[in-house]
């Protein structure tokens, strides 16, 4: 029997309200946390952030 590479071309992170698609080489940028008793999916964003092609600015910590 021949070996088959079943590595995904992309990962899908889903909740009932949100779906995020991530390339396999970037899956390490996703993490989950519980903050103040609530569950969160966090995406590390060191570069520009766009939502539907519109750049979103993130306020710096004070």
Summarised one tens digit per residue, pLDDT across range 11-55 is 999 999 999 999 999 999 999 999 999 999 999 988 899 999 999
Beta-carbon count within 10 A of 55 CB? 8
Instruction: Reply yes or no on whether the pLDDT at 59 is more than 90.
Output: no
Of 56, 15, 5, 9, give the one whose Cα is nearest residue 38. Answer: 15
Rounded CA separation 20/23 (Å): 10
Q: Please tell me whether the overall predicted TM-score, pTM, comes out greater than 0.85 for this model.
A: no
Q: 20 - beta bridge partners?
A: 13
């Amino acid at each position: 029997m021949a070996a088959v590479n079943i590595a995904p071309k992309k990962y899908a992170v889903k909740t009932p309200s949100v779906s995020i698609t991530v390339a396999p080489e970037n899956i390490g940028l996703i993490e989950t946390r519980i903050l103040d008793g609530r569950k969160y999916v966090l995406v590390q964003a060191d570069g520009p952030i766009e939502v539907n092609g519109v750049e979103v600015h993130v306020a710096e910590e004070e």
